[in-house]
Amino acid sequence: MKEKSPDFEIRRLGKPTIPSPITLGYFMSDSRRVLYDPYLHSDSPRIAGDAPLSIEIAGPRETIYFDPAQTKAAIVTCGGLSPGINDVIRAVVMGLYYRYGVKEIVGIRYGFQGLVPEYGHEPAVLTPEVVKDIHTLGGSILSSSRGSQDITTIVDTLCEMNINLFFCVGGDGTMRAAERIAEEIRQRDVKMGVIGIPKTIDNDLNLIDKTFGFDTAISMVVNAIQCAHVEAKGAPMGIGLVKIMGRESGHIVLNATLAQNDVNFALIPEVPFDLEGEKGLLKILEKRLLERKHAVILVAEGAGQNLCAGIGPKQTDASGNIRLQDIGTYLKTQIEGYFEKRGLEINLKYIDPSYTIRSVPANASDSIYCELLGQFAVHAGMAGKTELVVGLFKGEYVHLPLKSVASRKKVNTKGNLWMRVLEATGQPASMKN
């Protein structure tokens, strides 16, 4: 059975008839699109007729749907912290206020909890004066939260607040929630736009080239690797063990390994490994130490969960995610125990910089990206487009339906990037017996 082609059509609230107040003379047509498959293989997905599947490019439109003088916007940030959230908030506020003249902008505090009255979180009034310096700060000035809330209550609150544009900053769980919110709004026949801005430090949102905060995370992880390498080389049989983010995918591990070519073992969720046995990690690590006297191990938090699965009962967090066992401390214990039994003295230093990385301000690269995401989100919303995510796809800023990105992308373990990591580290392609 032939796989169904994805649907990239973007829903509109109605026909835009108001001339845009933007005076730059730069506008984007809805007809300008980027190919879903730029290589056009013979089996590339196609739409009706012979036209190849394509995706709408983001940018300001010549006519807009919402009258700026009558428009009220809200911004919410959800899930874990990531560098650049404040940059996005600032870009949305500045874009609405200065480019379009929207004066009523509010921030929803503590994620979707802020739209459930029983929590008592009052919204924040956002103006250029309030947000002008927030890009220098880490975290989110609106704070965040995890966990699902009642969709009906959320939409009731948005309607009571007379919100016309709702900007949701978050990861795959937030995008799924935004899709449900948009569906409830549509069923009520309310003219309210829902725009997603993708945020996950793990860079694992489907179809999105890069999520904001990822570049900052890489640069911070590189610092941790450098420290681990110094510690490993500073003592006989030294081991630097670094655990970083990567719940279901190892994109940070891959890129940091290539950025700082001092890692000898890169462990990711997509590639299972054994500890014991001739092909297991411990035996290969021993060989490395005997030959080179030091080693650096970089492990994603979701790697090797099968090895430590029996340590404690399975629990879930507020968002329904299974709470991971601490693979970092588990590996530390197992490595130390193995070499003690072998009568070999090692010097192991364990580093976990995860929360330090999440809470720092964005670097220059991420700041630029956040500014553009915020601007394009505002353009899409004011044009009356809804149920979409603004993101980078094949190097172009595009509009993607919410439903198309609400899943995680994995590392391609047969792809070029993983092959480069294997070459850089020298580790075997498989550490399974």
Tell me the catalytic residues. 202
Count of alpha carbons within 13 Å of 51, Cβ hemisphere only? 9
Helix H or strand E segment including 420: helix 416-425
Residue 54's alpha-carbon distances to 34, 57, 194, 397, 398, in angstroms, are 5, 9, 22, 13, 10
Q: What is the 3-state secondary structure (H, E, C) of 138-158?
A: CCCCCCCCCCCCCHHHHHHHH
| Eight-class DSSP state of 197 | E
Q: How far is residue 402 from each of residues 70, 91, 143, measured CA to CA in Å?
A: 26, 21, 23
Q: Is residue 161 classed exposed, middle or buried when 0-12, 13-18 and 19+ CB atoms within 10 A define those classes?
A: middle
CA distance 221 to 354: 9
193: closest CA among 399, 363, 416, 411? Answer: 399
Half-sphere exposure of 354 (CA within 13 A, CB side): 18
Residue 137: CB partners within 8 Å, gap ≥ 6? 86, 361
